[in-house]
Chain A
Amino acid sequence: MLRGVEEAELEAERTLVVAAQAGDRAATGELLTKYGPRIYRSVLLPRLGSEAAAQDALSETYAKVVERIAQFKWQNVGFAPWLRTVALRVALDHLRAKKRVLLWDADDVEREIDEANSATPIDQTLSDHRDRASAKSKVEAALEKINPRYARAIRLRVLEERDREDVAKTMECTPATFDVLLHRAMAALKKSLTADPSPSDSNTTKSEAEDT
């Protein structure tokens, strides 16, 4: 029964793709609206690390889709894996041109593009979950490379977005001391990412601080 529903959805999507390839704007708009926001959230935003950059990248992704949709060959896995690959390629271009330190670097995304054709799940929700989990583990891997106290400061203030005074109290210091702690934490993280830009690829997760 479920398979029947999936097949019907795939068939409906195929009809949309065929219409989009024939130049139907409404069909193209429907495809972009269905998958674009998910691609933004699970692929572009984590990799590019800023809303402005991710929105630019999504715009470029859409431009490429419009330009190349005639070249897309339907392979019974839906439209989303192709859109994800296009978005990854755009993200790769952005990362190659980037001037700031980010969690992902161009090599990471190149690897993801290589894997994308065979490893992107057909189910969009599953694909999103995988991308989200991958992003979280990337963050954790990066934090594991710095002093645990620094990692804690970043978790509380940046990831959990807790109030500065509240975090200072939790960490048993004054707000001003916490400011210095957070600055040191970010500097240590930046140094760690610059030294090894692929935190998730390394098996060494102990911080230099712990070794000393």
Chain B
Amino acid sequence: MNSRRDNSLLDPDAPASEEEIAAAEELRLALADPSRKSEEADLARALSLANEPREIPQSVHDALVAKSLEKMAAKRASRAEGRGRVIRVAFGAATAFAIAASLFLFIRFNSQTSQPAEAAVAQIPLVQVHSTAPLFHEPFNAATASARIDRIAMARSDDLRENMYAQWGVK
């Protein structure tokens, strides 16, 4: 079958088979009606268009240009929107950064202002625990009443006050 077909492709005058007659009719119809599917008719049209290419219809071309320009506008709009989004994000980030920076500065400033007092505390020696012996010069008499406890309480109160002033940095 194939060799017969190959023969017919080489010899234009070879007798036509039923199959060839049907295919020839199909080609005739497809050439007259482009909506009919036919590879041979498509190739024939391709040859014709390569040999004598036609102009693109003006309305078709105008539509293609308009479509591409619409895409161009849409692309620019989306790019601008993207830029706007970037600006908003950047603004938000900058605001957050500014708040964080101001908080940091506030805390740092506060800690710096409290530093002199702490430094002063470190410099001023606090009253250390010490013996009560220096408060008493007379010998202790257990049989009589004395003001020893009052003297100790007053001395410790003084120590406590001195230490508090030292800690507060007001000394």
Contacts and interface: CB of A to CB of B under 8 A. Distances in A.
Interface of A: 23, 25, 28-29, 32-33, 36-37, 40-42, 45-47, 49-51, 54-55, 58-59, 62-63, 65-67, 100-103, 132, 135-136, 138-139, 142, 147, 149-150, 154, 158-159, 161, 164, 176-177, 179-191, 193, 208-209, 212
A41 B64 CA distance: 15
Given A36-B61, A208-B10, A189 B56 contact: no
B64 A46 contact: no
Contacts of A138: 50
A29 to B, nearest CB: 5
**Interface size grouping (class) on chain B:** 35 or more
A180 B12 CA distance: 9
Nearest to B52: A159
Interface of B: 5, 8-12, 16, 20-21, 23-25, 27-28, 39-40, 42-56, 60-61, 64-65, 67-69, 71-73, 75-76
Given A25-B72, A58-B64, A103 B16 contact: no
A14 B97 CA distance: 46
Contacts of B23: 183, 187
A181 B46 contact: no
B61 A50 contact: no
Nearest to B7: A212
B83 to A, nearest CB: 13
Binding site secondary structure of chain B: helix
B9 A100 contact: no
Q: Which of B8, B21, B52 has the most CB of A within 10 A?
A: B52
Contacts, number: 159
A63 B68 contact: yes
A50 B45 contact: yes
The 3 closest A-B pairs by CB, nearest first: A49-B46, A62-B68, A183-B24
A159 B68 contact: no
A40 B56 contact: yes
B60 A186 contact: no
A41 B24 CA distance: 30
Nearest to A138: B50
Contacts of B69: 25, 28-29, 66
7 contacts: A41-B56, A66-B75, A101-B39, A164-B28, A179-B24, A181-B12, A189-B43
Given A50-B42, A101-B39, A179-B24, 16 more contacts: A28-B68, A32-B68, A41-B53, A49-B47, A49-B50, A54-B56, A59-B68, A100-B39, A100-B42, A103-B46, A159-B47, A159-B52, A179-B28, A180-B21, A182-B24, A190-B39
